[in-house]
Structure 1
Amino acid sequence: MQNPSCSSQYDKMIKENMNEAMPDILSGVLGIQAARAEDLAERIQYTKERIPDQLKKITDDSGETFVLHIEWQLKNDAEMIDRMLEYRAMLRRKYRINIRQYVLFMGKTTSTMINRIEERDLKFRFHLIVLYQIDYKVFLASEKPEQKILAVLGDFCKEDPETVLRKIIEGIKAKTKGSLAGQRYMNQLRILVQLRNLETQFNHIMESVSTFFKEERDPYYIRGFQKGTEKAAIKAAIRASSEFAERLIEGTDHTDEVIAKLAGVTVPFVKRKRRALIKKKNINE
């Protein structure tokens, strides 16, 4: 079972990336040919509040307009069918147009979630898509790094995992401008490879392609000569890695060395962070 803090990092990453990847997700994964798409407010509230992962108003190439509701699910949830039914009722009441609902399952096990209800006076279903059953090349073929990252969750089609990972990393490298953006995507890929237990292969590949992130431009080594928006991006990258390291310290039994590799920081940094967390915990107690 995933630690709640680990689940939140996947949620954050998905929300950051999916606006960019959405056009390819629509056509390549959901089979929707969108002629027009606009974001909708994600908060729904009547007697209770619900915040869907993604909502969009879509007009497809046939002229039909509908609300697209997507949930990204990390593990099996026996209550998913009821949650989706609640969402459906709230969305239908608010927007008064057809609703299409999809749950994209990121887990590495077989999905056991029920996606339909057939009872007297009630019929309902949502689309359940298991990512590991989709050929990873569907994601890798995208021009957007945000979707290429998702290839690690797909079906490797009996290919060697390290070979596939290398293709993904090289594909991201080819479509990424600047080492700061590249570092961000690699940190996100570090998170996703844990869902497939591919940390060892990932770290081995990263050692051989380390020139992708030149040390003098790596946000963990920059010493103040960057300015403006680049400086802000550096701070954001450092903060994200620091937060990721903190979650690994609190939610796993990994050694400081392993955490440093996963989070893209130094071992001394992890040791300082661990001491600070212990001190904070003792004060709170």
Structure 2
Amino acid sequence: MGDKDLISKRILKTLVRDFATYLFGLPVVEVALLDGERQRIEARRADLVAHITLPDADPCLLHIEVQNDNQALMPYRMLRYLSDLLLDHPDLPVRQYLVYIGQERLTMADGFDLPDVHYRYRVVDMHTVDCDALLGQEAPDAWVLAVLGDFKGRLPRDVIHSILTRLKERFGDDLPSLRDYVEMLDILATNRNLNLDIHEELKMLNLDVEQLATYRLGLEKGREQGLEQGLEQGLEKGLERGLAQGALERGRAIARNLLDQGMEPAWIASVTGLSLAEVEALRNRP
């Protein structure tokens, strides 16, 4: 999937299924991720493209764009993505969705009309999605998506705690599953600019943060390196911010532990993503 380097394919696939099921009302049976990159003079990439199968329906392509800012030219971008998909898959129908998660009021159009061209796609404004409705589902995927919805006056920390508490109760000692959902929650919460450190919130719930941290020895490479520039205009800013803030501190914490165990600084730097100079500075720090 090109340089989708920060999120694993498994999490991307889960996000596609969750968006389809809980936001678009599409009861997806099967999901197969496709590469959304197309080369022209410059590289253009769709955020998420998947081959999906619905009950009692022919297979189709699902294209999802996630935006956290209003772009006047978005309808033309969507049409451009559509033409690329149709050229590559002329025998498959395409369902297109724009999911808006920005803080400002949604002003983007759902298509355009020209004298001989009438084009539409579906828009989901997360400001209109009641987070309590998602939290009321008996599905952890819906709980995680609730962080993008309308909090109805609730404090962000209360919503985050409600989600994390349910995830803890549902998965217990199933750390791989719990880790995946915490990763998705961390990514989506960052895009809401909630200014909350998910891992600090985990500590308050007495969860072992080190076992759930993004940089875990031998089990993950950072976040397996990527969601394609961070879901373009949508998740891009959140992922970069998450790497710059949370991951750096987590990398330093793990580096300190490894130094205490006598590991070589060069190896620690390669595992954590820190520079060798940073690791050496940690070793010399009292």
Instruction: Say whether the fold is shared (TM-score over 0.5).
Output: yes
Q: Is the 8 A contact 1:20 1:144 kept in 2?
A: no
Q: Which residue of 2 aligns with 1:72?
A: 66
Residue of structure 2 equivalent to 1:199: 195
- Give the number of the structure whose residues are more often helix, by fraction: 1
Cα distance in structure 1, aligned partners of 2:246 and 2:140: 24
Matches within 5 A, 1:1-285: 12-13=6-7, 17-45=11-39, 49-96=43-90, 97-140=92-135, 145=140, 148-176=143-171, 177-179=173-175, 182=178, 185-186=181-182, 189-199=185-195, 205-209=201-205, 211-213=206-208, 217=211, 231-233=217-219, 236=221, 259=245, 263-264=249-250, 276=277
Q: Is the 8 A contact 2:135 2:142 kept in 1?
A: yes
Shift of 1:59: 3.5
Separation in structure 2 between the aligned mates of residue 238 and residue 190 of structure 1, nearest angstrom? 12
Distance 1:48 1:66, change over 3 A: farther
The TM-score normalised by the length of structure 1 is 0.66
Runs (5+) with no aligned partner, structure 2: 226-236, 257-268, 279-286
Letter in 2 for 1:101: Q
Structure 1 unaligned segments of length 5 or more: list them: 1-7, 223-230, 252-258, 278-285
CA contact (8 A) 1:56 1:67 kept: yes
> Is residue 7–residue 224 contact of structure 2 (8 Å, CA) maintained in 1?
no
Separation (CA, whole Å) in 2 of partners of 1:94 and 1:154:
34
Q: Greater RCO between the two (CA within 8 Å, min separation 6)?
A: 2
- Percent identity, aligned pairs only, is 23
Aligned residues: 246
Matches of 2:142 and 2:44 in 1, distance apart?
26
Q: CA RMSD in A?
A: 4.2
1:154-181 Cα distance to aligned partner (Å, 9 max, x none): 1112334332221111122234454466
Q: Is the 8 A contact 2:202 2:209 kept in 1?
A: no
Query: What is the CA–CA distance in structure 1 between the aligned matches of 2:21 and 2:66, rounded to whole Å?
Result: 17
The alpha-carbon distance between structure 1 residues 13 and 128, as it changes in their structure 2 partners (threshold 3 A), is: farther
Contact 1:139–1:151 under 8 Å retained in 2: yes
What code does the residue aligned with 1:149 have?
V
Distance 1:122 1:109 in 2: 29
Q: Deviation of residue 25 (structure 1)?
A: 2.4
**Shift in Å, 1:193:** 3.3
Measure the CA separation in 1 of the matches of 2:153 and 2:174.
33
1:236 partner SS: coil
The whole-number CA distance in structure 2 between the counterparts of 1:100 and 1:202 is: 33
In 1: Cα distance, 2:208 partner to 2:199 partner:
14
Conserved in 1, the CA contact under 8 Å of 2:213 and 2:250? no
**TM-score of the superposed pair, with normalisation by structure 2:** 0.65
